[in-house]
């Protein structure tokens, strides 16, 4: 298509002396008839009401200039004031001096059909007809022109085409625009150097007051040429960014908005880099702190036997496995660890996953699908919740640790193909424990699979850290999920079950099948950690003693904390108060992050202390005292 066959099609509609609608396109001659028709339709259906005069003009331009679209940046502003302030700042940033005076002139533009043309420095009006202003016309989006499609009304595309033309007019250095469409609160500032800055909220919703100012800098003698370019030169703008017709924010603006909402509610998170390995103590920003939030309960991540097992495995088998378990990723350290896990838990078989999260997601989605049902404790870990969602099964939530509720609900689930009940063994945010014998009994009587997640139980619960079955001297559930990443000091997840069940998971747990196998160092580390736990049961005893001591210290300071494990929650409630308490504790040398929504319910923010076997009693005593001080200062109800 040569530019020579292009037509400019312009529509203007009015009622009496009132302007109703105006629009224009540049299209191939073949598309001119339907374009004209579409513009007439637009005039007839305008929200300002039915016009009584519609002028459609078709014209073949003598030359066409092609321009690249200005780059677009979107700012999500929350109020018109914020929007106007931002507009002024952008102009100032571009070296425009009398910004406040320019903004004050904006009200004068409301009556104009076109834009006010202002000398950017003297603020003299340069538009020859001050009733009308200057109008930028004869321009279109090159893309839609090429396709010959009459575009639906799209404020954004039209505005960027106009702004691009305007910023390419000789002498123009900036533009500010507010829509006069009552439904459209978005405006923009465009400058040659900063590009097009959309401002999502720049005027009150419902207001018909809009306008434009073009700022000019240059000799008076060139103004005529500037106006000719604006009003007559045909322009096609290339590469106009795509955006939906009625979007008031673009994709990045909506992300920025989510962030500001999070920040306001005290829910913004970020990662903190530690300067030293985490044991019972570490270093942050050059300061020593006591770590009261690590899940490395038995201090095995830095144990010499564990570390050298990992190092040796790296030397022998490499850092990474290079393949999924079912292709080339299974090495002797994987097999050895699985055999050891099965022995440790007393099951026939075991299977390792790259993370504990993936173990839960994989196991649950492999057990049930649409047409099945899962009964899930309301405080189960996010990885269990995600597994439930991914499975497609119906999910029935029962009250936290309320096995009577489980029993009631499960007995009305007989119509399903498969039933699964799933529970954390130790609840990660509350530290309480499942009544495993009763859980298993309810599952058996209702022919439901029993699945528990021993993430916080392995190495912690039971006289020698073997988990809930040891603690209760009871049989195993059908499936035990666990992690290598907490008390085992390594990284990864696992499942322990019968040979038949493990084979089922190998064949159907997608997080297992489609992940690269963990590296041998992580496998060897966990294997060595199991050996340490078996040979040094005193570590588990020391952990239990530290928990008892810490609770008694808290009690001395008036804080009653309940736990069945090494997790000691200290409830605060309000998210911001919890953050303040955590900040204060860090200043005092204790790393205890505030746990907030969505990890716990809204308004149930807490400090979550995790005890290690290697914490010194003096550190624990000082921690209890500081927690009590920080909590009273931040008016918490404990």
Residues making contact with ligand WAQ (CB under 6 A): 109, 112, 114-115, 135-137, 155-156, 159, 162, 177, 179-181, 184, 186-188, 198, 210-212
Query: Cβ closer to ligand WAQ: 98 or 153?
Result: 153
Q: Which stretch binds Mg ion (CB under 5 A): 53-61, 174-182, 238-246, 248-256?
A: 174-182
Is residue 486 annotated as part of the catalytic site, yes or no?
Answer: yes
Query: Cβ closer to ligand WAQ: 253 or 313?
Result: 253
159 binds, among Mg ion, ligand WAQ, none (CB under 5 to 8 A by kind): ligand WAQ
Count other C-beta atoms under 10 Å from residue 264's C-beta.
Answer: 10
Per annotation, catalytic residue among 165, 456, 476, 634: 456
24 binds Mg ion (CB under 5 A): no
Query: Sheet holding 567-573: strands in order across?
Result: 567-573, 605-610, 594-595
Query: Cβ closer to Mg ion: 187 or 569?
Result: 187
The region, left, alpha or beta by phi > 0 then psi within -120 to 50, assigned to residue 558 is: left
Q: Which stretch binds Mg ion (CB under 5 A): 114-122, 179-187, 343-351, 586-594?
A: 179-187
Per annotation, catalytic residue among 340, 486, 551, 615: 486
Is the C-alpha dihedral spanning 121, 124, 126, 131 positive or negative? positive
Helix (H) or strand (E) holding 157: helix 155-167
The region, left, alpha or beta by phi > 0 then psi within -120 to 50, assigned to residue 384 is: alpha
CB of 3 to ligand WAQ, least distance (A): 21
Residues 6 or more apart whose Cβ sits within 8 Å of residue 336: 523, 524, 527
Query: Cβ closer to ligand WAQ: 195 or 519?
Result: 195
581 binds, among ligand WAQ, Mg ion, none (CB under 5 to 8 A by kind): none
CB of 22 to Mg ion, least distance (A): 8
451, 477 contact by CB (below 8 A) = yes
Calpha distance 471→474 (Å, rounded): 8
Query: Cβ closer to ligand WAQ: 207 or 599?
Result: 207
DSSP one-letter string for 244-262? -TT-SS-HHHHHHHHHHHH
Is residue 93 annotated as part of the catalytic site, yes or no?
Answer: no
190, 163 contact by CB (below 8 A) = yes
Query: Cβ closer to ligand WAQ: 188 or 357?
Result: 188
CB of 254 to ligand WAQ, least distance (A): 14
How many angstroms separate the first and last alpha carbons of the chain? 75
Among 180, 303, 407, 453, binds Mg ion (CB under 5 A): 180
Calpha distance 133→10 (Å, rounded): 18
* Strands (DSSP E) found in 45-100: 53-59, 64-68, 72-75
Calpha distance 594→31 (Å, rounded): 63
CB of 602 to ligand WAQ, least distance (A): 34
CB of 152 to ligand WAQ, least distance (A): 14
CB of 206 to Mg ion, least distance (A): 14
CB of 104 to ligand WAQ, least distance (A): 17
| Pairing of the two strands 479-483 and 449-453 | parallel
Per annotation, catalytic residue among 428, 469, 511, 614: 428
Calpha distance 476→346 (Å, rounded): 8
Query: Cβ closer to ligand WAQ: 112 or 451?
Result: 112
How deeply is 18 buried, as exposed, middle or buried, from its count of CB atoms within 10 A (0-12, 13-18, 19+)? Answer: exposed
Q: Which stretch binds Mg ion (CB under 5 A): 177-185, 224-232, 431-439, 575-583?
A: 177-185
135 binds, among Mg ion, ligand WAQ, none (CB under 5 to 8 A by kind): ligand WAQ
295 binds, among Mg ion, ligand WAQ, none (CB under 5 to 8 A by kind): none
Catalytic residues: 428, 456, 486
């Amino acid at each position: 298509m040569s530019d020579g066959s292009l037509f400019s099609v312009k529509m203007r509609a009015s009622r009496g002396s009132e302007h109703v609608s105006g629009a224009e396109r540049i299209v191939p001659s073949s598309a001119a008839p339907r374009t004209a028709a579409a513009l007439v339709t637009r005039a007839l259906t305008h929200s300002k009401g039915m016009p009584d005069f519609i002028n459609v003009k078709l014209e073949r331009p003598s030359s066409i200039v092609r321009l690249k679209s200005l780059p677009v940046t979107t700012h999500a502003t929350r109020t018109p004031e914020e929007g106007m302030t931002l507009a002024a700042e952008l102009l100032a940033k571009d070296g425009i001096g009398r910004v406040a005076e320019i903004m004050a002139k904006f009200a004068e533009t409301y009556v104009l059909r076109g834009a006010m043309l202002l000398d950017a420095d003297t603020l003299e009006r340069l538009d020859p007809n001050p009733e009308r202003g200057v109008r930028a016309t004869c321009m279109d989006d090159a893309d839609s022109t090429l396709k010959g499609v009459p575009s639906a009304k799209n404020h954004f595309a039209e505005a960027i085409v106009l702004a691009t033309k305007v910023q390419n007019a000789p002498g123009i250095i900036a533009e500010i625009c507010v829509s006069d469409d009552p439904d459209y609160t978005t405006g923009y500032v465009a400058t040659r150097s900063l590009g097009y800055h959309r401002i999502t909220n720049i005027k009150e919703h419902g207001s018909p007051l809009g306008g434009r100012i073009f700022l000019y800098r240059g000799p008076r003698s060139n103004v005529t040429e500037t106006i000719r370019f604006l009003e007559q030169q045909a322009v096609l703008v290339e590469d106009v960014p795509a955006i939906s017709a009625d979007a008031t924010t673009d994709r990045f603006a909506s992300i920025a908005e989510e962030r500001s909402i999070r920040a306001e509610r005290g829910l913004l998170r970020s990662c903190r880099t530690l300067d030293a390995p985490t044991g019972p103590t570490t270093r942050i920003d050059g300061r020593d702190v006591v770590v009261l939030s690590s899940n490395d309960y038995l201090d095995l991540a830095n144990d010499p036997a564990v570390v050298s097992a990992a190092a040796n495995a790296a030397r022998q088998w490499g850092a990474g496995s290079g393949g999924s378990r079912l292709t080339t990723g299974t090495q002797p350290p994987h097999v050895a660890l699985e055999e050891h896990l099965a022995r440790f838990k007393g099951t026939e078989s075991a299977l390792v996953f790259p993370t504990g999260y993936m173990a839960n997601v994989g196991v649950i989605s492999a057990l049930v699908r649409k047409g099945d049902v899962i009964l899930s404790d309301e405080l189960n870990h996010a990885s269990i919740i995600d597994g439930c969602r991914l499975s497609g099964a119906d999910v029935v939530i029962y009250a936290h640790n309320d096995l009577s509720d489980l029993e009631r609900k499960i007995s009305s689930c007989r119509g399903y193909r498969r039933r699964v009940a799933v529970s954390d063994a130790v609840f990660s945010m509350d530290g309480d424990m499942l009544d495993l014998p009763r859980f298993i009994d309810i599952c058996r009587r209702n022919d439901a699979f029993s699945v528990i997640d021993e993430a916080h139980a392995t190495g912690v619960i039971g006289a020698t850290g073997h988990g809930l079955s040891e603690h209760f001297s009871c049989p195993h559930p059908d499936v035990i999920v666990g992690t290598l990443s907490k008390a085992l000091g390594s990284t990864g997840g696992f499942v322990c079950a019968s040979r038949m069940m493990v084979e089922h998971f190998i064949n159907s747990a997608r997080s297992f099948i489609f992940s690269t196998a963990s590296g041998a160092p992580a496998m060897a580390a966990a294997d060595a950690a199991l050996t340490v736990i078996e040979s040094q049961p005193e570590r588990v005893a020391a952990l239990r003693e530290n928990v008892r001591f810490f609770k008694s210290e808290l009690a001395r300071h008036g804080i009653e904390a309940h736990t069945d494990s090494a997790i000691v929650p200290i409830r605060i409630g309000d998210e911001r108060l919890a953050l303040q308490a955590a900040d204060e504790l860090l200043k005092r040398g204790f790393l205890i992050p505030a746990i907030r929504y969505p990890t716990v319910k809204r308004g149930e923010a807490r400090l979550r202390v995790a005890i290690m076997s290697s914490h010194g009693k003096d550190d624990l005593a000082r921690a209890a005292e500081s927690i009590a001080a920080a909590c009273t200062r931040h008016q918490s109800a404990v």
